[in-house]
Amino acid sequence: MWFFRSPSIIYGEDSISYLNDIPQRRIAILTDGNIVRAGLVQKVRHELPEDAKVLIIDDVPVEPTLSYVSSIKGKIDQFKPDLIMGLGGGSCMDCAKAAFVTYEKPGLDMHDITPLINLDLRKKARIILIPTTSGTGSECSWAAVISEDDHGRKNEFASPEIIADFAILDPVMVSSLPEMVRKSTAIDALTHAIEARSSAWKNPYSDIFADKAVELITSNLMDAIADNENVDAITNVHIGASMAGLAFSNSQITLAHSLGHSLGAHFNIPHGISVGIFLPHVIRFNYSQAKSEYSAINKKFPKSLRKKYLHLTVENFLKQLSMPMTIADLKIPKNEYEKKMDSMASLALESTGTVLNPRDAGRSELEMLFKEIE
Amino acid sequence: MYKFPSEEWANAYFEKLNGNADYKDSARDWEGDITLIINADETMKEDAYLYLDLYHGICRKYIFTNDLNKIPKSEFTYSGKFGNWKKLINGEVDPIKGILTGKFKLKGSMAKIMRYTKAAKLMVNTASQVPSVF
């Protein structure tokens, strides 16, 4: 027995207008300053019913912490929303999920957001997520990354109950992404898809979303980067990223994410870059255990990018995008990197991605993979 | 071959777990005891309990019993029907999926145990390495 879970997805040009007819009238929007400055909050407000009351919390940090989520609880409780909206990248959407839980279940320790506990939500509100990047897949996933306050450990809170009720994928929300953000978030999505396809929990549903995600992202990303007005390419990458979110959310990520999370936490590297840098190495490491899956994914890349083996194809793709491939590219001093090796391996060992990797990996294998990007 | 569950099986498991270097490494900071509860079903008449005192990658002590009163109250319990334990030991059920699908129940601090999923997996793998009859 297993499950397939997904929000209701509204997608394509003008899908934001779905907000015109929602039944909710008290809407708490969690977002950040960049989204406000980009005019996207205004765009969303314009689409909401005229008589809707709106609370805007626009200071969600890049790495939301437990104390940040607690700090906004009072405002949300007082406002009494019947809809919580996460508008932004992964941070804003993850923060909205955590805020949704604390609003619904006052007194619950956020660490208890695990799939092993029945949270019994949706007594007060619903949750809607609108991504403004094409990568995290958070709008489709039942996970939320919230950091500890003191030492930067990233908690991967997960519960099928925090999956959004609705996700809106409108290309207008991602049309003006800076080039590097578009690239790194797409690489994050590509990593989601490839890891979902080879995870120990892979299944026919996740496979089909992973395959299509790889096809949409790799066939359209270059065009989306080259032309901000290429709505078709931008839409395809956006939908592909969301499909990758559905794929990993219904099967789980593996080792590139374990290593990437750990590298990111130790050296403050953006998520898409830190997971992408390990992707070809992890594929090569896993190859003997995931041959048919990797071979199937390799065929989803456009012929112009495809090499004989998936790790070579991915490497080629990363190079064409001028993505960092080594710690030198990330400007991390070698001695500092080596000093933190044990700590990085320990953190990666704790990740569920390590457990669900198709090939068993202990400390020595993790250290070996960390060394491969030196 | 060791009959599961039994004192002999528990002892063989205790030895194998303490000989597992990967487990030792992945649980090197772990402090906490756990009781594995094998609930009776149509093929096993009496509940059985395997108490494990786990500390820094070592199992310091185990108690196997059919009497709940003979074991200390532990920080965690992991329980399921005998038939499901059989599937778990034979590698037919994933221990976390087992919880998510209601085949097993885990009680204790979820936040703590979620940081040690690798160690939990290795504990199950070790059980699969004990030559077992059911």
Question: Do A118 and A74 meet the contact criterion of CB atoms below 8 Å apart?
Answer: no
Nearest CB partner across the interface for A114, out of B22, B101, B110: B110
pLDDT at A150 over 80: no
Q: Does B92 touch chain A (CB under 8 A)?
A: no
Report pLDDT for A149: 84
Sign of the CA dihedral with A221 first, then A321, A168, and A20 last? negative
pTM for the predicted model, two decimal places: 0.91
> pLDDT-based confidence at B14, cuts 50/70/90?
very high
Q: Does domain A179-372 have CATH number 1.10.10.10?
A: no
Tokens 């809106």 -> residue: A168
pLDDT at B74 over 90: yes
Is A242 or A350 the better-scoring residue by pLDDT?
A242
End-to-end distance of chain A based on CA atoms, in angstroms?
43
pLDDT at A350 over 80: yes
Q: Does B106 touch chain A (CB under 8 A)?
A: yes
Nearest CB partner across the interface for A355, out of B99, B106, B121: B121
Question: Do A201 and B97 meet the contact criterion of CB atoms below 8 Å apart?
Answer: yes
Q: In terms of DSSP bridges, do strands A53-57 and A26-30 run parallel, antiparallel, or are they unpaired?
A: parallel
Give mean pLDDT, residues A150-164: 84
Find the range with the poorest average confidence among A9-13, A28-32, A108-112, A303-307.
A108-112
* Cβ–Cβ gap A114/B94 under 8 Å: no
How do residues A11-32 score in pLDDT, each as one tens digit? 999 999 999 999 999 999 999 9
Sheet with B31-39: list strands edge to edge. Answer: B58-65, B48-55, B31-39, B76-81, B104-107
The identity of residue B28, as a single letter, is R
> pLDDT-based confidence at A152, cuts 50/70/90?
low
How do residues A38-92 score in pLDDT, each as one tens digit? 999 999 999 999 999 999 999 999 989 999 999 999 999 999 999 999 999 999 9
Report pLDDT for A258: 95
pLDDT at B102 over 80: yes
pLDDT at A96 over 90: yes
How do residues A282-295 score in pLDDT, each as one tens digit? 999 999 999 999 99
Nearest CB partner across the interface for A350, out of B97, B115, B121: B115
Beta-bridge partners for A64: none
Distance CA B44, CA A27 (A): 54
Distance CA A367, CA A349 (A): 10
Residue B115, token pair as written in the block: 């940081």
> pLDDT-based confidence at A319, cuts 50/70/90?
very high
How do residues A208-248 score in pLDDT, each as one tens digit? 999 999 999 999 999 999 998 999 999 999 999 999 999 99
What b-and-e string marks burial along A183-210, b requiring 16 or more CB atoms within 10 Å of the CB? bbbbbbbbbbbbbbbbbbbbeebbbebb
DSSP codes of every residue in A6-68: --EEEESTTGGGGGGG-S--EEEEE--HHHHHTTHHHHHHHHS-TT-EEEEE----SS-BHHH
> Over pLDDT 70: what percentage of chain A?
99
Domains of chain B by start residue, with CATH: 2-123 (3.30.1050.10)
Report pLDDT for A337: 97
Using a CB–CB cut-off of 8 Å, the residues of A that contact B are 1-3, 109, 111-112, 114-117, 155, 200-201, 349-350, 352, 354-355, 360, 362-363
pLDDT at A177 over 80: yes
> pLDDT-based confidence at B24, cuts 50/70/90?
very high
Nearest CB partner across the interface for A114, out of B22, B114, B116: B114
CATH says A8-173 is which class?
Answer: alpha beta
Distance CA B82, CA A81 (A): 46
Q: Does B110 touch chain A (CB under 8 A)?
A: yes
Distance CA B113, CA B54 (A): 13
In chain A, domain spans? 8-173, 179-372
Tokens 């990007």 -> residue: A373
> Over pLDDT 90: what percentage of chain A?
90
- Give, in degrees to the nearest 5, the angle at Cα A369 between A365 and A374: 140
pLDDT at A366 over 70: yes
* Cβ–Cβ gap A2/B101 under 8 Å: yes
Residue A248, token pair as written in the block: 């990993």
Report pLDDT for B50: 98
Exposed / middle / buried, residue A182 (Cβ in 10 Å: 0-12, 13-18, 19+): buried
* CB-CB neighbors (< 8 A) of B100 in chain A: 3, 115-116
Q: What is the DSSP letter of A283?
A: H
Residue A88, token pair as written in the block: 């932004």
Is A112 or A312 the better-scoring residue by pLDDT?
A312
Distance CA A197, CA A209 (A): 9
In chain A, which residue's Cα lies nearest the Cα of B99? A116
Those residues whose C-beta lies under 8 Å from the C-beta of residue A39, and which sit 6 or more positions away, are none
Q: Does B56 touch chain A (CB under 8 A)?
A: no
The candidate with the shortest Cα–Cα distance to A320, out of A308, A304, A332, A331, is A304
Give mean pLDDT, residues B12-18: 97
> pLDDT-based confidence at B94, cuts 50/70/90?
confident
* Cβ–Cβ gap B111/A200 under 8 Å: no
pLDDT at B99 over 80: yes
* Cβ–Cβ gap B99/A116 under 8 Å: yes
The candidate with the shortest Cα–Cα distance to B123, out of B76, B82, B66, B69, is B76
Which helix or strand (DSSP H or E) is residue A240 part of? helix A231-249
Question: CA distances (Å), A198 to each of A80, A182, A246, A295, A301, in order?
Answer: 42, 25, 14, 11, 16
Classify B59 as helix, strand or coil.
strand
